[in-house]
């Protein structure tokens, strides 16, 4: 199979994404105002609570069996590795660019978390339909690919809302600490407190609802800390686990994955719901029908959200270059080493489609949920829009090139 055929097969899904994203941006323009801020909010709720869970549950239920679980066990580790390597690359970007404190969590999140669900749902079905695809019959490729993508979305949601959420949260609170400490050092005194007391025990000022969560241990003038290092670590761990938003961690798409696993793995339920002769097949068919609307709707919303980046303020160019280099150069190269290493040591089966998806997880643009987190904590919302604009604009080139390389690699080993 020639590189030209692989390039065409890789470029078609990316062009589809560009066309639908462009339509979403057009519909969000003030002069059109079909996908304005309020409309996007309501449509996004439909996707988050209805379409995505239905898509994940229906696809996993149809394809997950005990045999397929043998192939899927490596995916959670692969996604975890993308987060670990991405975080390391993010710290390197921060060291070289020295961004403001409130943007550090944003940079780490953009480098660590890729769009592990929606982009795969768009790319994989389009790739499976192309004649130059190395993944066998289109129907089998589509069925397996959607199951792999569904699992990727569910696992990605857990990692994003447990790891990136807390990174953005802690970055924003550290920014508050720094600003309030600077205010206090510029001459703001406390009523009824002497200068010597302030010098002996200076603690960051935070809003009252956060004081108990983020207060630092006080040190005396003799240099001895009142709290031991082990207690500090325990305090930080308690703070992280206590402040995890469990409602967001178990997002609807994650619950949909759990339902899909239960239906697929329990034979009695599977016989009732899956198959042309199943008595409750109407439930599965209805879920599939709802899930079909998720991909196009989500892509339109992405296009509408990127419009904010066009209107956003200026941002340090080195930050954008650093994030792009981390996500589209360093991370995919690391992904080739990880997946090829796993294949060499016998951790993966020789399934070209599964290997392709594992590789593609290293080359995706940043997760759109990061924008929701910046809105939640009020830290770098406008800067996030600019980063998303550039990374998603450049993803058309990056995804085409890396998809071609990845398909050539898996076709070569299959």
Contact (Cβ atoms closer than 8 angstroms) between residue 300 and residue 24: yes
Structure confidence at residue 123 (pLDDT) = 85
Asked if the model's pLDDT at residue 267 lies above 60, the reply is yes
The residue ranking higher by pLDDT, 330 or 346, is 330
Domains of the chain and CATH, by start: 3-177+247-413 (1.20.1530.20)
CA 168, CA 187: separation in Å to the nearest integer?
30
CA 411, CA 414: separation in Å to the nearest integer?
5
Crossing angle (nearest 10°) for helices 317-325 and 101-112: 20
Asked if the model's pLDDT at residue 328 lies above 60, the reply is yes
Lookup: tokens for 51: 């379409």
Crossing angle (nearest 10°) for helices 101-112 and 74-97: 150
Structure confidence at residue 334 (pLDDT) = 95
> How do residues 187-201 score in pLDDT, each as one tens digit?
544 444 444 443 333
> How do residues 140-170 score in pLDDT, each as one tens digit?
888 888 888 888 888 888 888 778 888 888 8
348: left (phi over 0), alpha (psi -120 to 50) or beta: beta
> How do residues 170-185 score in pLDDT, each as one tens digit?
877 766 666 566 555 5
What's the DSSP call for residue 116? Answer: -
Structure confidence at residue 86 (pLDDT) = 94
SS3 label, residue 339: helix
CA 99, CA 65: separation in Å to the nearest integer?
47
Structure confidence at residue 163 (pLDDT) = 85
What is the value of pTM for the model shown? Answer: 0.75
Structure confidence at residue 313 (pLDDT) = 64
CA 274, CA 266: separation in Å to the nearest integer?
11
CA distances from 88 to 91, 94, 161, 200, 324 (A): 5, 10, 19, 36, 14
What's the DSSP call for residue 366? Answer: B
In this structure, the dihedral spanned by the alpha carbons of residues 185, 189, 194 and 200, taken in order and rounded to 10 degrees, is: -30
């Amino acid at each position: 199979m020639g590189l030209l055929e692989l390039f065409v097969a890789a470029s078609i899904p990316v062009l589809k994404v560009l066309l639908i994203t462009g339509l979403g941006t057009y519909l969000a323009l003030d002069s059109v105002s079909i996908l304005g801020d309020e409309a996007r909010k309501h449509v996004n709720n439909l996707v988050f609570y209805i379409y995505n869970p239905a898509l994940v549950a229906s696809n996993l239920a149809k394809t997950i069996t005990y045999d397929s679980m043998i192939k899927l066990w490596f995916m959670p580790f692969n996604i975890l590795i993308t987060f670990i390597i991405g975080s390391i690359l993010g710290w390197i970007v921060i060291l070289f660019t020295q961004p403001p404190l409130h943007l550090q969590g944003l940079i780490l999140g953009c480098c660590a978390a890729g769009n592990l669900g929606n982009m795969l749902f768009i790319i994989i079905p389009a790739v499976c339909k192309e004649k130059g695809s190395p993944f066998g019959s289109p129907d089998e490729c589509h069925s397996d690919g959607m199951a792999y993508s569904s699992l990727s979305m569910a696992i990605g949601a857990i990692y994003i809302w447990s790891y990136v959420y807390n990174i953005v949260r802690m970055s924003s609170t550290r920014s508050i600490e720094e600003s309030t400490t600077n205010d206090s050092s510029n001459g703001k005194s406390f009523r009824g407190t002497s200068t010597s007391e302030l010098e002996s025990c200076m603690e960051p000022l935070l809003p009252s609802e956060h004081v108990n969560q983020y207060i630092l241990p006080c040190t005396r003038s003799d240099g001895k800390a009142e709290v031991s290092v082990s207690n500090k670590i325990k305090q930080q761990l308690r703070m992280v686990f206590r402040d995890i938003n469990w409602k967001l961690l178990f997002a609807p798409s994650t619950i949909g994955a759990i339902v899909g696993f239960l239906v697929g793995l329990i034979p009695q339920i599977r016989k009732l719901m899956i198959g042309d002769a199943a008595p409750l097949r109407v439930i599965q068919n209805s879920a599939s029908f709802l899930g079909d609307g998720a991909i196009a709707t989500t892509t339109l919303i992405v296009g509408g959200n990127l419009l904010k980046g066009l209107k956003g303020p200026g941002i340090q160019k080195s930050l954008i270059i650093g994030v792009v280099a981390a996500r589209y150069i360093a991370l995919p190269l690391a992904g080739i080493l990880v997946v090829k290493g796993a294949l060499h040591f016998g951790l993966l089966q020789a399934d070209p489609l599964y290997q392709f998806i594992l590789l593609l997880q290293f080359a995706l643009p940043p997760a759109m949920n990061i924008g929701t987190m910046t809105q939640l904590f009020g830290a770098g919302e406008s800067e996030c829009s600019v980063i998303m604009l550039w990374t998603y604009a450049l993803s058309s080139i990056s995804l085409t090139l890396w998809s071609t390389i990845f398909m050539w690699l898996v076709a070569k080993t299959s």
